Amino acid sequence: MLSIRNLQASVNDEPILKGIDLEVNAGEVHAIMGPNGSGKSTLANVLAGRENYTVTGGEVIYQGKDLLALAPEDRAREGVFLAFQYPVEIPGVSNIYLLKAALNAIRKHRGEPELDAIDFLELVKGKIALVEMREELLYRSVNEGFSGGEKKRNEILQMAVLEPRLAILDETDSGLDIDALQAVASGVNALRSQERAIILVTHYQRLLNYIEPDHVHVLAEGRIMKSGDKGLAHELERQGYGWITQPAAGTSP
Partner 1 sequence: MSQNSATQQIYLETIAAAGKRAPAGMPAWISELQARAASRFAEVGFPAAQQEEWKYTDVGPIARAGFTPAPKGLNGVDITGLEGFLFEDLSCHRLVFVNGYYAPALSQLGGLPAGVTVSGLADALSERPETLEAYLGRCLPDASHGFTALNSALLADGAFVHLSRGVSLEQPIHILYVTTDEAEAMLMQPRNLIVAEPGSQATLIEHYVANGEAAYWTNTLTEVVAEVSASVTHYRLQEEGPRAFHVGGLHVNLDRDSRFTSHGIDLGGRLVRNDLRSVLDAEGAECHLNGLSVLGGRQHVDNHTHIDHASPRGTSREFYKGILDGRARGVFHGRIVVHPHAQHSDAEQLNHNLLLSRDAEADSKPQLEIYADDVKCSHGATVGQLDADALFYLRSRAMDEAAARDLLTYAFARDVLQRIGLEPVRLQLERRLARGLLHGRDTKELELA
Residues near ligand ADP (CB under 6 A) are 11-12, 16, 34, 36-42, 52
Taking the least distance from each CB to Mg ion, the nearer of 43 and 157 is: 43
153 touches partner 1 (CB under 8 A): no
State in angstroms the smallest separation of the CB of 174 from Mg ion.
9
According to the 3-state scheme, what is the secondary structure of the chain?
CEEEEEEEEEECCEEEEEEEEEEECCCCEEEEECCCCCCHHHHHHHHHCCCCEEEEEEEEEECCEEHHHCCHHHHHHCCEEEECCCCCCEEEEEHHHHHHHHHHHHHHHCCCCCCCHHHHHHHHHHHHHHHCCCHHHHHCEECCCCCHHHHHHHHHHHHHHHCCCEEEEECCCCCCCHHHHHHHHHHHHHHCCCCCEEEEECCCCHHHHCCCCCEEEEEECCEEEEEECHHHHHHHHHHCCHHHHCHHHCCCC
From the list 94-102, 193-201, 215-223, 227-235, the region that binds partner 1 by CB under 8 A is: 94-102
From the list 77-85, 172-180, 186-194, 234-242, the region that binds partner 1 by CB under 8 A is: 77-85
Taking the least distance from each CB to partner 1, the nearer of 142 and 197 is: 142
State in angstroms the smallest separation of the CB of 5 from partner 1.
23
Taking the least distance from each CB to partner 1, the nearer of 168 and 200 is: 168
Taking the least distance from each CB to ligand ADP, the nearer of 12 and 251 is: 12
Q: Which residues contact 76 (CB under 8 A, 6 or more apart)?
A: 102, 105, 106, 162, 164
From the list 7-15, 100-108, 127-135, 192-200, the region that binds partner 1 by CB under 8 A is: 100-108
State in angstroms the smallest separation of the CB of 18 from partner 1.
24
Per-residue contact string for residues 204-243; x = within reach of partner 1 by CB under 8 A: ----------------------------------------
Yes or no: say if 130 and 187 are a contact pair by the CB < 8 Å rule: yes
State in angstroms the smallest separation of the CB of 14 from ligand ADP.
6
Sign of the dihedral defined by the CA atoms of residues 197, 181, 34, 240, in that order: negative
Bridge partners of 2? Answer: 24, 62
Site residues for Mg ion, 8-47, by CB under 5 A, read 40-41
Per-residue contact string for residues 75-94; x = within reach of Mg ion by CB under 5 A: ----------x---------
Which residues sit at the interface with partner 1, rule CB under 8 A?
A: 48-52, 71-73, 75-77, 81-82, 84, 87-88, 90-98, 100-102, 105-106, 109, 117, 138-142, 158, 162
